[in-house]
Structures are given as C-alpha cells and as structure tokens.
Amino acid sequence: MEKAVKLLKDSKAARFSVLFLISVLMFGTYWFQDGLGPLKALFESQLGFTSSQFGLLISSTTWANLFLMIILGGIALDRWGIRKVGVILAVIATIGAYVVWAGSMGKFGTSKNQMLWSMVVGRILFGIGLETTCVLISRTIVKWFKGKELAFAMGMNIVVGRLGSFMAISFSLDLGGAMGPNVLSNALVISASIILVGTLLFIAYLGLDKKLDAQIAKAAGEDAAVEDDEFKFSDLVKLLTDHSFIFISLLCVAFYSAVFPFLQYAPDLLVNKFGFTYVLPDLSGMSFFQKIGAYLTNGPKVSGLIPLGTIIFTPIFGRLVDAKGKAASLMILGSILLIYAHLTLSVMNNVILGYTGLFALGVAFSLVPAAMWPSVAKIVAENRLGTAYATMFTIQNYGLSLFYFGIGKVLDIVNPTTVSQLAAAREKFEAAELSPEQISTEIDAMRASGEIAAYNYTIPILMLVGLGIVSIYLAFLLKKADKRQNYGLERPSGQ
C-alpha cells in the first residue's frame, strides 16, 4: 500500500504560523483604512481641510474598486498565483500608505490642494491593494486550512482585522502624540509602518507557500499546484438574474454604507455633539471611576468600542445562525437596530441614549454580517462563490464611496458658520507665522471656548437612518424571495 505524502499544511503548527504571518497584513490594512477618523479635526486645524475634503480623501480609497479592480484582482490571483500577485498587491498598498504620510508632510507640495491630492493618490494606491488583499488572504487561508480548521481560521482572520480597526480608532491619537508634536503625520507613519511589517511577514510566508506547492506537485507527480475556482465574467449574468442574490447584494451596500463611513466620522460626532474629548486628560491622581469616566467621554475610545464589539458578538451570532437559522429575520432585526442607533445620534441630544445607540450599532454590525455571509453560500453554488463575493464587494464600494464623501459634503453645507470660522482662524494664525502644530493647539482652544461653533451632525446622520429603512425593505424582499426560491435562509446551516 502506497504511503500518503505528508504535506506541510498537515502540520498544525505550520498552518497557524501561516495564519499569523498573513493576518498581520490584514491587521495593518484595516488599521490604515479606519485610522483617519480620529484625525479629522487635525486635518482641519493643521492642513486646513474642510469636511468635504476629508470625505473626498477617505472616499478615494474606493475609487479603483469602482472599475472592477476586485474582480480583476481575483482573476490575476487565479492566473499568476498567490506569490506573484500577492507581493504586488501588498507592496502597492504599502507604497500608497507612505505616499499619504509623505503628502501630509508636504513632500509633494505645501499648498492645501497639493497636499490633498497627493494624499488622494496615496489612498487610491492603498485602495487598489486593500480589497483584493482581503480576497488574497481568504484564498491563502482556504489553501492551508481546507478540510481542517477552516471556519475557525476565517473567523480569527476577521477578528484580527476588526482588532486593527479598534486599535486605530482608539489609539492613533495617543501613539501619534507620544512620538512628538506633529500628531497627524506621526499617526499616519505609524499606520503605514504597520502595513510594511505585514508586507514583510507576507514575503516571509512565501517560502512556506513555495515549499507547499512543491510538495503538492511531487505528490501529484507533475509540476502543478492546486487550482482554485476561477472568477468568471460569464457567471455574473447568472448571479445578477438571481433575485435573492440581487437583494442580498443591495442589502450589503445599504447596510455597510451606514456603518463604515459612520466609523470615520464617529469620533468627531461625539466630540461636537456631546462635548467628548479627542485626547485623554492626565489620568494620574484620578480614582478608578474617574478614569472610567474619562474613557467614556473620549470620542476615539468610545467609537473604538464598535469594532471591538464585533470581535465579541460576531462569533456568537454566527453560532446562533448555524444552530437556529432565521438569517433573513436577523438581517431585519439588525437593520432596525441600525435605524435606532442613528436616530439616537442625530435627532436626539441625550448622551445616555447616544450610548445605547452606539451599543445597538455594535450589535447590528455583528448581527447582519453573521447572518449575511453564510446566506450567500446558500444562495450561490460553491464554484461561483469567488465571483459572488468579488461582485458584492465591488457593488459595496459604490455605496461606500458615495457616503464617505457625502457625509463630509453635507456636513459643510449645513454648517457654514463653523466652516467660515475655521477658515478665518487658520488665516489669522498663518499670517502670524505659527507652525501647523501651534495652529492646531490654538484652534482646539477656540473650539473648547465656543469661539468656533461645533458641527451639527443631525442631517448627515439622518441620511444613514434612510439607509437603515432601505435595509429593512431589502431584508423583507430577501425573506420573500427565499420562500419562493427555497434556499433555506431561515433554516439552520445543516438544513
């Protein structure tokens, strides 16, 4: 009897070493993606950006993906493999992150427009690598964990990504301040450097990937590696004529457009609406409860609890969907929670209700993905899942692009006094030849004293309430379509 060849991926230590090496890149990309939110006020005071220009900057991350970049990246991965394409994507994302940092330092020109557009170019480069890198990492996990701890490995990778978001939102300002007075550029170079570390660890992983391919080829008796299902444009026609897939894709757009753009503005909203702080005060000499109070009135720290909550709740809700089903019903519930969350943070002015809204948002942010992604696997045949996810991510980027920019644009339109006061203050301090860091300090003081009016976020966040209503409608349509097409979204996973 022929002895089975033992492959490198049969070693549990090797598999989880690979998971660590590739997950740091996921951590870094999520950090850089979500790390601009707590820096919004610094973009305004140090660089003179308006909310519209800040929205333009964060929106630019999605631009390349509006032109099928994710699907094309998937095809490239199929054709040229993880090693060649993976390195290119990771390097592009890293270069983009450092271009953003260099732009903030005025390396490509010191005028506001030169700084803005150089940073936009950096975010576009980062965006080219971002989503396709997520596909790359998912495919790598499948390669090493299929038939073993695949679900656990996928879940841990999501946890690592969300941990990057939490760390970036909560601690970017603290880390940037610890490095010196130029907090904005310090925070940006830290996030770029984390992506660089992730890229270097991914390159280190490639040796293991090459060794595994050689073992597989030897076991097969030919120079060939395992082939994964390919992205096919012809599959798009089948997908886009399936009612359930259409509804779940549009639900993905509506729901995530109400969450991810909000995370970028959440710290600034809490500071302007409820008087939270951007930077923690000196905690020495405070009692335990005073320290808790300081954390619970700090915009970045409280905003960071939203992605942190997903780390805790998503696995719980995922197990619930596996055991009980009711995926479409849970998407309806998540959309209702989304509406409640944004109502408390827009038209209501009670900080306690605001806390409950943020908690509801965290639950919704865990509930809907836990129900949505397993549902896609029920709707779409396994050999078309790659195309399905790439299509959904591509469509999702249209919504994200619109609302990343739209919230900032509407914020400027409905707050003309704040915009003009900020511009006048910057002009005054620039004429006095103050440094960007000194200007930022002076503007912070004017904001604290009320000389510069706080932003009113009511209308921008009400737009997200509208997305919640659309999400409920789409979830009901999905539930109705499932009854007709019998995909079993309301049944447990085994059924």
351-379 and 299-324 helices, crossing angle to 10°: 40
Structure tokens at 338: 């989304």
Question: What integer pLDDT is reported at residue 442 of this predicted model?
Answer: 93
Q: What is the pLDDT of the chain when averaged over all its residues?
A: 87
Say if CB 425 and CB 223 are below 8 A apart.
no
Question: What integer pLDDT is reported at residue 226 of this predicted model?
Answer: 47
Cβ burial of 79 (10 Å; 0-12, 13-18, 19+) is exposed
Question: What sign has the CA pseudo-torsion 369, 144, 78, 94?
Answer: positive
CA distance 86 to 97: 17
Question: How do residues 427-446 score in pLDDT, each as one tens digit?
Answer: 999 999 999 889 999 999 99
CATH 1.20.1250.20, applies to 229-415+455-495: yes
Question: How do residues 139-194 score in pLDDT, each as one tens digit?
Answer: 788 788 877 777 678 778 888 888 999 999 999 999 999 998 899 999 999 999 99
Question: How do residues 284-312 score in pLDDT, each as one tens digit?
Answer: 889 999 999 999 999 999 999 888 888 88
Which pLDDT band, with edges at 50, 70 and 90, does 223 fall under? very low
CA distance 126 to 200: 16
Question: What integer pLDDT is reported at residue 398 of this predicted model?
Answer: 93
Say if CB 34 and CB 256 are below 8 A apart.
no
Instruction: Calculate mean pLDDT across residues 10-34.
Output: 91
Structure tokens at 319: 């197990």
Question: What integer pLDDT is reported at residue 224 of this predicted model?
Answer: 46
- Give start and end residues of each alpha helix (H) in 146-277: 150-179, 183-220, 234-239, 243-257, 260-274
Question: What integer pLDDT is reported at residue 1 of this predicted model?
Answer: 40
Query: Tell me, what DSSP letter sits at residue 64?
Result: G
Question: What integer pLDDT is reported at residue 278 of this predicted model?
Answer: 92
CA distance 39 to 52: 15
Domains 14-225 and 229-415+455-495 share a fold: yes
Query: Regarding predicted confidence, which is higher, 314 or 128?
Result: 128
Question: What integer pLDDT is reported at residue 262 of this predicted model?
Answer: 96
Cβ burial of 323 (10 Å; 0-12, 13-18, 19+) is exposed
CA distance 337 to 370: 15
Structure tokens at 386: 């790659």
CA–CA–CA angle 306, 282, 358 (5° rounding): 15
Which of 83-92, 437-446, 460-469 has the least mean pLDDT?
83-92
Instruction: Calculate mean pLDDT across residues 265-282.
Output: 93
Which pLDDT band, with edges at 50, 70 and 90, does 447 fall under? very high
Share of the chain above pLDDT 70, in %: 94
For the cut 60, the answer to whether the pLDDT of residue 229 exceeds it is no
Neighbours of 454 (CB within 10 A): 15
Place of tokens 């936009």: 120
For the cut 90, the answer to whether the pLDDT of residue 240 exceeds it is no
Question: What integer pLDDT is reported at residue 156 of this predicted model?
Answer: 82
Which of 23-37, 79-93, 273-287, 337-351 has the least mean pLDDT?
79-93
Instruction: Calculate mean pLDDT across residues 232-256.
Output: 85
Question: What integer pLDDT is reported at residue 318 of this predicted model?
Answer: 76
Cα Dmax for the chain: 86
Q: Give residue 362's identity as a one-letter amino acid code.
A: G
Instruction: Calculate mean pLDDT across residues 207-235.
Output: 69
CA-nearest of 77, 15, 12, 46 to 389 is 77
Radius of gyration for the alpha carbons in the chain, expressed in angstroms and rounded = 23
Which pLDDT band, with edges at 50, 70 and 90, does 492 fall under? confident
Question: What integer pLDDT is reported at residue 225 of this predicted model?
Answer: 46
Query: Tell me, what DSSP letter sits at residue 224?
Result: -
Question: What integer pLDDT is reported at residue 143 of this predicted model?
Answer: 81
Topology of the domain covering 14-225: Growth Hormone; Chain: A; (1.20.1250)
Highest mean pLDDT among 153-162, 319-328, 335-344: 335-344
CA-nearest of 475, 469, 473, 480 to 329 is 475
For the cut 60, the answer to whether the pLDDT of residue 10 exceeds it is yes
Phi then psi for 456, rounded to 5 degrees? -100, 115
Would you kindly state where each structural domain of the chain is located, as residue ranges? 14-225, 229-415+455-495
Question: What integer pLDDT is reported at residue 232 of this predicted model?
Answer: 61
Highest mean pLDDT among 85-94, 413-422, 476-485: 413-422
183-220 and 69-104 helices, crossing angle to 10°: 150
Question: What integer pLDDT is reported at residue 219 of this predicted model?
Answer: 78
Question: What integer pLDDT is reported at residue 86 of this predicted model?
Answer: 84
Q: Give residue 272's identity as a one-letter amino acid code.
A: N
Place of tokens 């309301």: 490
Which pLDDT band, with edges at 50, 70 and 90, does 2 fall under? very low
Query: Regarding predicted confidence, which is higher, 318 or 87?
Result: 87
Question: What integer pLDDT is reported at residue 168 of this predicted model?
Answer: 95
